Structure 1
Amino acid sequence: MAFTPDGLPPLRDVVAAHGLAPKKALGQNFLFDLNLTAKIARSAGPLEGFTVFEIGPGPGGLTRALLAQGASRVVAIETDPRCLPALSEIADHYPGRLEVVEGDALKIDLAAIADGAPAGIVANLPYNVGTQLLINWLTADPDAPFWSSMTLMFQKEVGQRIVAAPGSNHYGRLGILAGWLAHSEILFDVPPEAFTPPPKVTSSVVQLEPLAKHLPCQLDKLERVTQAAFGQRRKMLRQSLKPLGGEALLDKVGIDASRRAETLSVEEFCALARAL
């Protein structure tokens, strides 16, 4: 059997040995290119001394890259029991450094697992739950996030929404939430042919780092304002924000009622939330 530089078999051999055909229902698209998984791991920065969470590791391509990059502790959360034997082989190869948790990442408290230790999240996220996972992690504790960085792969369109600036067609509720709590940037794109099976869209690796201090604002109020504003994004704010006070609310913070949602900055949305 052939072996790769980390001393483990090629991923295609691992997948064949364990019968791991990707499941569409789980949003599985496997990465076999070790150069690409190594690039993602390097992009996450120095990993020594960190607990690194990986969501949906599948056969473990990115898991292996994170460990080879020097991650002190990788916690891989996998909902597909078929993948556990392959991940167990990686754990045996890197004694004491890989923990595999079987379960749904939407229901697992990563902060409790990190237990105050420096933590990062690096993952090729399943398309069907990626946005909700990001929102969960961003809002878990806005004033004291458990994560120091997130390096995540999304559909390119979702990545563009995360980093979007006011005035962009992609600017909306997700970009405002991310902009309120983090600095984010798209690091690079990944073509469909890098995956097995290839998805119909290009993907993007996005990196987020929490802001040292975010604008004062209550999450529930910000969500109410952005939901109303972007629920009718083509209408003027005097109309879209009518259920929340309309012109009276806008006058409180000195925002022209004829503007539209996509022209407002994160600071202005936070001001509206405080005015509620």
Structure 2
Amino acid sequence: MGIKAKKMFGQNFLKDSSVLHQIIQSMPEDSPNALVEIGPGLGDLTQWLLQKRGVVAYEVDTDLCAYLNERFAKERKTEQFVLHQGDVLARWEKQETLATKPYDLVANLPYYIATAIILRALRDTQCQSLRVMVQKEVAQKFAAAPKEKHFGALGILAQLLGHVEVLFDVPPHAFEPPPKVTSSVLWIQKRREYVGGEHGVFKNEAQRDAFERYLRMAFSAPRKRWLKNMTLGFEKTLLASLLEEQALSLNSRPHEIDTATHHHLFKQLTKVNDYVRNEQQQQ
């Protein structure tokens, strides 16, 4: 084969067949969704995925693309396997979605861009679920519960969408070359629309972007009080009244406030901003 992992792409090839089997076993048998794989590498996971459904893959490494096209030549002819070469984040910027129909994302993600890919997949309205291999600490941040050490903006963004769970850990020796950290398989199952629609978490893209700005402010100093952090943009008396309405202590830290309450506080602050903006326009 003669293909070695390249540090510039953060490549660590998953070789342990028992881990591959666990990933496949965690997938539902009757899903009608397409399958998308990011960074298929040498195609060891791809081979298992193709036994379930067709795969649309995205790979940045031209050498690996040549290898994959040869390995899955038969599946390419029948379009069971479709491979796109290039930067998947750049592809998202151009077309907003990785597939023209609902899909499940399954991937062993490069550590250095894993968080960016997950956040972009959460924005992709065609993406219905994610089963992704990431650094264990990253998985913990997305799955953490309120008051836990890792609970923060990443967990809130993911948990607003649906179910988030760390399925299992994967030791370094399951990869070639072995990384210096433990990995985890993270599962995010969306259960409602993120933007727009009758049941959307946010009315539109602008409101979602505003919520992300709210989270950056709320967690700007994670161990300081939520009230203190939010005075960067709002009156202290208003913030105190909102906490009291939710029966929360004025000393509450941002990681002590659960996901639903953060969303509620954001919506209340949005109403205040809208009211002030309307008043200013009428003057």
Give the TM-score category using the shorter length: 0.7 to 0.9
The 8 Å contact of residues 38 and 88 in structure 2, kept in 1 or not, is answered as yes
Task: Give TM-score, length-normalised by structure 2.
Answer: 0.83
Partner of 2:227: 238
Paired residues for 1:120-269 under 5 Å: 120-140=104-124, 145-212=125-192, 213=199, 215=201, 218-245=207-234, 246-252=236-242, 254=245, 255-269=248-262
* 72, 83, 96: which one aligns with 1:91: 72
Instruction: State the distance in 1 between where 2:179 and 2:237 align.
Output: 45
Runs of 4+ in structure 1 displaced over 6 angstroms? none
Instruction: Name the CA shift for 1:235/1:48 in 2 (closer, same or farther; >3 Å).
Output: closer
Distance 1:36 1:257, change over 3 A: same
Aligned to 2:90: 107
2:219, 2:226 within 8 Å by CA — same for their partners in 1? no
Is residue 45 of structure 2 the alignment partner of residue 62 of structure 1?
yes
Q: TM-score, normalised by structure 1?
A: 0.85
Partner of 1:6: none
Partner Cα distance (1:177, 1:146) in 2: 17
Q: How far does residue 250 in structure 1 lie from its aligned partner after superposition? A: 4.1
The structure-2 alpha-carbon separation of the partners of 1:205 and 1:26, relative to structure 1 and needing over 3 Å to count, comes to: same
Tell me the residue number matched to 2:278.
Answer: none
Deviation at 1:199, TM superposition (A): 0.6
Q: 1:78 aligns with which of 41, 49, 59?
A: 59
In the other structure, the counterpart of 1:5 is: none
Contact 2:202 2:208 in 1 (8 A): no
Q: Which runs of 5+ in 1 are unaligned?
A: 1-16
- The 8 Å contact of residues 121 and 151 in structure 1, kept in 2 or not, is answered as yes
Q: How far, CA to CA, are the matches of 2:36 and 2:79 in structure 1?
A: 15
* Counterpart contact for 1:250–1:257, Cα < 8 Å: yes
Q: Structure 2: which amino acid aligns with 1:256? A: S
